[in-house]
Chain A
Amino acid sequence: MEFKDYYQIMGVKRDATQDEIKRAYRKLARKYHPDVSKEPNAEAKFKDVGEAYEVLKDPEKRAAYDQLGANWKAGQDFRPPPGWDQGFEYHRGGFSSADASPFSDFFESLFGREFSARGGGRSGLHAHGQDTYAKVLIDLEDAYRGASRALTLRHTGLGSDGRPRWKERTLNVRIPKGVHLGQHIRLAGQGEAGLGNGTPGDLYLEVEFRPHPIFHVEGRDLYLDLPVAPWEAALGAAVKVPTPTGPVELKIPAGSAAGGRLRLKGRGIPGTQPGDLYIVLQIALPPADSEAVKSAYRELEKAFEFNPRVRLGV
C-alpha cells in the first residue's frame, strides 16, 4: 500500500496550525468540488483532499499520523508498524461524508476500525437503503428513438467480514425516448439494500450525450451549422438538411445572410414539449482553383458596386 503524504496533498507545512489547515482545505475544496469544478480528475482530487483533511483537522488523528514520522515519502510502500497507534484514543464518528466512497487503503489501515464499525447492520434496526447515482452515456439518436443499454456499475457494499469493498453488477436498462442532457432516470429499488426490513433505495442514472459530429445539443434544442453556396443564400434554394431522424428538404429564403438562423419547429429532442432544430447558415466560398472559377469571380466583381467594409467607414 502506498504512503500518503497528507501535508503535501493539502499543500501545508507539517507544523501548520489548525486554522491554516482549514483555510487550505476550503481553498482546495472550492477548486476541486465535483459540483463546481471542471478541472480534470476533480473528483479524485477532491477525495484525496477530503481524506487528508479528515485526518489533519482532527488533532487526535493528526497526532497519530505525525507519529509515523516525517521520513515517509508519498507513494512509498507502507505497512503500519505494529502497535503504531498505542496510546491514542479516538472518538467514534466525525466522518462527515456519509455518501462518500471509502477512503484509501492507507487511511483504512490507520483509522479503519471506526470506518468499518460505521453502518454495520445492527440487528433490529430497519432503515431505507441509500439512493445511488451513476452516469449513462448515450448517443443523440438514442434520445430520439429510445434505446437499451447494458450498464456495468461498481458500488460499495459490506463484505462478509463487515468491511466495505467494491462490488460489480450489470443492469439492462431502457433509455426512454425524449431524455436530454443532465436529466436523471430513476430505477426504483435498484439503489443500496435497506437495513433489516428496510426497503432498498433507488438508482438514479444521469444522462450524458456522447459528442455528436454534426449536431450540438442545448437542453431540448439542437443546432446544426449548415454551409450554403453564396448563390443559394442570395437567390434562395431548397437544400437537403440532415436531422437525427433522417434528411429533410429545407427552403433557404432569398437574401439570407451568414449566421442567419432557421428553425425547424419540433425537430429537437422529442417529448411533451419537443425541442426545436436550429439551422445556422454559413456561407461557403468555392475555392478559386481553376481559370473558369477565377473568371466567374471577376465577372462577379464587375457586376457589383459592393463594399463589404462599408460599416467600418473605410
Chain B
Amino acid sequence: MTKDSSSFLSGDVLEEDLEFTLTELCRVCSVSAERIIELVNEGLVEPRGKNPARWRFRGVCVRRVRCAMRLERDLGVNIAGAALALDLLDEIEIMRARLKRLDI
C-alpha cells in the first residue's frame, strides 16, 4: 500500500493482485496451518504448488476460509458441510444476479 502526494490510500485488489503462502493465509484468516491443511484436503481451497511449503493461495481463498470458519463455529457444520455450503452459496449468488438482470 502506498500513500500518494494527495494523501489518498491505495490498496491491492485481493482477488486480482494477491497470492498468499500458507503462513500468510494463516495470519490473514487467523487460523492454524493444521486447519488450512484440513481445508485443502477437503478441497475447500485449492493452492498451486506440490507441498505445503510451496503452496500459493489465490486471494479468493481468504473469503472461503474465513466463511468456512464462521459457518463451522456458528452453525456447527463440519468442513465437508462448509465446503458444500460455500459451493452452493456461489451458485446462488450467480443465480441471484441473473434473476435480478431478468427482473423476475
Q: Which residues of B contact A33 (CB under 8 A)?
A: 70-71, 74-75
**B30 at interface, CB cutoff 8 A:** yes
**B97 at interface, CB cutoff 8 A:** yes
**A173 at interface, CB cutoff 8 A:** yes
Give the Cβ gap from A247 to chain B, nearest Cβ, in Å: 21
Contact flags A168-209 to B (C-beta < 8 A → 1, else 0): 000111101011001111111110000000000010110000
Q: Give the size range of B's interface with the partner.
A: 35 or more
Give the Cβ gap from B92 to chain A, nearest Cβ, in Å: 9
Give the Cβ gap from B5 to chain A, nearest Cβ, in Å: 12
**A26 at interface, CB cutoff 8 A:** yes
**B50 at interface, CB cutoff 8 A:** no
Of the candidates A99, A131, A183, A190, the one whose C-beta lies within 8 Å of that of B9 is A190
**A148 at interface, CB cutoff 8 A:** yes
**A115 at interface, CB cutoff 8 A:** no
Give the CA-CA distance A148 to B7 in the complex, in Å. Answer: 11
A271 and B11 contacting across the interface, CB-CB below 8 Å: no
Contact flags A63-104 to B (C-beta < 8 A → 1, else 0): 000000000000000000000000000000000111100000
Of the candidates B11, B70, B85, B101, the one whose C-beta lies within 8 Å of that of A186 is B11
Q: Which residues of A contact B85 (CB under 8 A)?
A: 36
Q: Which of B50-104 contact A (CB under 8 A)?
A: 59, 62-63, 67, 70-71, 73-76, 85, 89, 93-94, 97-98, 100-101
Give the Cβ gap from B10 to chain A, nearest Cβ, in Å: 4
Of the candidates A98, A184, A189, the one whose C-beta lies within 8 Å of that of B13 is A184
A30 and B28 contacting across the interface, CB-CB below 8 Å: no
Q: Which residues of B contact A173 (CB under 8 A)?
A: 8-11
**B35 at interface, CB cutoff 8 A:** no
Q: Which residues of A contact B97 (CB under 8 A)?
A: 216-219
- Closest chain A residue to B28 by CB distance? A131
Of the candidates B14, B63, B70, the one whose C-beta lies within 8 Å of that of A185 is B14
Give the CA-CA distance A184 to B62 in the complex, in Å. Answer: 10
**B34 at interface, CB cutoff 8 A:** no
A172 and B8 contacting across the interface, CB-CB below 8 Å: yes
Q: Which residues of B contact A179 (CB under 8 A)?
A: 13
Give the Cβ gap from B78 to chain A, nearest Cβ, in Å: 14
Of the candidates B8, B89, B100, B101, the one whose C-beta lies within 8 Å of that of A148 is B8
**A130 at interface, CB cutoff 8 A:** yes
- Closest chain B residue to A199 by CB distance? B27
- Closest chain A residue to B70 by CB distance? A35
Give the CA-CA distance A182 to B90 in the complex, in Å. Answer: 11
**A29 at interface, CB cutoff 8 A:** yes
Q: A172-B8, A218-B98 are in contact. Are A184 and B14 (CB under 8 A)?
A: yes
B27 and A204 contacting across the interface, CB-CB below 8 Å: no
A128 and B27 contacting across the interface, CB-CB below 8 Å: yes
Q: A33-B75, A36-B89, A96-B73 are in contact. Are A187 and B59 (CB under 8 A)?
A: no
Q: Which residues of B contact A35 (CB under 8 A)?
A: 67, 70-71, 89
Q: Which residues of A contact B70 (CB under 8 A)?
A: 33, 35
B13 and A185 contacting across the interface, CB-CB below 8 Å: yes
Q: Which of A261-303 contact B (CB under 8 A)?
A: 271-272
Binding site for B on A (CB under 8 A): 26, 29-30, 33, 35-36, 46, 50, 96-99, 128, 130-131, 148, 171-174, 176, 178-179, 182-190, 202, 204-205, 216-219, 223, 271-272
Closest 3 CB pairs of A and B: A184-B14, A188-B1, A216-B101
